[in-house]
Homo-oligomer: A and B are copies of this chain.
Amino acid sequence: MRSTKTANLKEVAQMAGVSKMTVSRALRPGDSRDRMSAETRERVLQAVKELNYSPNAAARALRLGRSNVIGFYAGHGFVNVRHPFFAEVVSGLQDGCEESGQDLLLHRLKRGKALDLYSEYADGRIDGLVVTMPPGDPLLETIIRSNLPAVAVADEVPGIPAIVVDDAHGAQLIAEHLRQLGHRKTFYAVGSAEPPSFIRRRDSFLKTARDLGLAVSVECVTSDEGNAGLVQAALSSGITAIASWNDEMAHKLMRACRELGLRVPEDIAITGFDGMPADYRELDTLTTIEAPWAEAGRLAVMNLDLLLRGEAIKPKTTLPVRLKVGSTT
């Protein structure tokens, strides 16, 4: 395809009048084991520059058994960067990659044929994997068995070190905030999946609420539409606030409120969880728990890098969260 074949080590060596090995050495000045005359190095670097040489990644990966590329598996075979949560995590992964000198690979995927992915994970293309796996993911077993170095984000996975956020504390802060504002009866909106992070949030909310004398009913919000009925029912049963297990659900409910012509927070207060950085499209500011998802992604990569170097890492890192009071409570 390319008309100008890229130069290789041999050509550089010939031009500089040295052996391939000397070129290879000249290219990593950091290593103190590779002492060589400054003059030779200079000559080599000159040739490198002239030929516009850069080492072939495939050859290096083959030789070293390490590609300096890591993968990201987000469950069900697909990384949906359109979703703010994944966008945030991927952003953090990029930061971590920049910091640790690795690249990030987003796999091609036949959706629903995630199992085929395993072969890609085992083929030396990537050195390790960051995962954020929904419970019961088909690849879980395989990844664990494969011994591919991996770090989990957001939801812990048995046998894999994890970076999580302090879900329990966040939920507690929300419950306290609502109680402080005078609410006495709330509903807690949950989805159908029950990852560990969700369970921590719900249980902590319920416990704190009980301690504070805040009544809570847990309701399942599954569809995108038709939540108006839910909100209506809540309202007529005396509920004055809805705590949602994440921001996405909170926004769904806000849309339902708008359909009903309800004012937030005057008629009903709404809270979220996750606290993605405000998007330019966002006009209302949600009261939510700000969780450092980008930082979690960055740390995941840094930990994975340590793992790849054979160093020990903590099995579980919990990142602090904070309450962000917006205009919805």
Binding site for B on A (CB under 8 A): 1-4, 6, 52, 54-59, 61-62, 67, 69, 78-82, 84, 86-88, 90-91, 94, 97-98, 100-111, 118-120, 122-125, 127, 146-149, 247-248, 251-252, 254-255, 258, 276-277, 279-284, 307-308, 310
Contact = CB atoms under 8 A, between A and B. Distances in A.
Contacts of A59: 58, 62, 124
A79 to B, nearest CB: 7
A267 to B, nearest CB: 16
Given A56-B62, A108-B98, A147-B4, A283 B284 contact: yes
Copies in the complex: 2
Closest 5 CB pairs of A and B: A54-B119, A58-B61, A57-B125, A2-B147, A58-B62
Contact of A98 (B88, B110, B146): B110
Contacts of A1: 127, 147, 149, 307-308, 310
A125 B97 CA distance: 16
Contact of A281 (B94, B98, B279): B279
Question: Chain A interface mostly helix, strand, loop or mixed?
Answer: loop
25 contacts: A1-B149, A2-B146, A2-B147, A6-B124, A55-B123, A56-B124, A58-B58, A58-B61, A58-B124, A61-B61, A69-B105, A79-B94, A81-B86, A82-B87, A82-B88, A84-B281, A87-B87, A94-B106, A97-B108, A103-B107, A103-B120, A247-B281, A254-B283, A279-B279, A279-B281
A102 B97 contact: no
Nearest to A67: B58
Contacts of A88: 82
The residue in A82, A105, A148 that gathers the most chain B C-beta atoms within 10 A of its C-beta is A82
A3 B145 CA distance: 10
Given A62-B62, A122-B6, A102 B94 contact: no
A283 B308 contact: no
